[in-house]
Amino acid sequence: MKEATKKVTAHEEEIEITEGSGNVFADLGLPDPEERLVKAQLALQIKKIIQAKGWNQTEAAAHAGVDQAKVSALLRGKLKGFSTDRLLRILNNMGRRVEVRISAREYAPGQARTSVAVAR
């Protein structure tokens, strides 16, 4: 993780600011930060679809193929019971095509990343 720190003065008090890596889960030292970030990004897209469609949780559950309690948990960011595969299936059930693309470019170990991109 690249850390850039700088000191700024606010109200006559010096505060140290550390620039994040782009993955809050890694910055917090949580296990499996890449997987957590991908799951959060997928859940965000599911939430955006639900909002765009104007579905309530019961309607979203019917479209997603899960029960309403799971939709509620997902919308609140409670992703412990969701695998990446399950979130991808929910997106498919909601009528979204999901594509996995693997870069031809080779990166140094520790530099390769997984990300979610949304086609417009």
Output the furthest CA–CA distance in the chain (Å, rounded).
Answer: 55
AA identity, residue 34: E
- Which CATH number is 31-120's, of 1.10.150.120, 1.10.260.40, 1.20.210.10, 2.60.40.10? 1.10.260.40
Average pLDDT along the chain: 90
pLDDT in tens, 10-67: 677 788 888 898 899 999 999 999 999 999 999 999 999 999 999 999 999 999 999 9
Q: What is the pTM of this model?
A: 0.82
Distance CA 111, CA 40 (A): 20
pLDDT at 99 over 80: yes
Q: Can you read off the two tokens belonging to residue 80?
A: 């412990």
Q: What is the pLDDT of residue 5?
A: 65
Owner of token pair 């296990």: 31
Distance of CA 104 to the CA centre of its chain: 24
pLDDT at 51: 98
More confident residue, 115 or 32: 32
Could you tell me the two tokens for 33? 């930060």
Token pair recorded at residue 42: 């997928």
Q: Where are the domains of the chain?
A: 1-30, 31-120
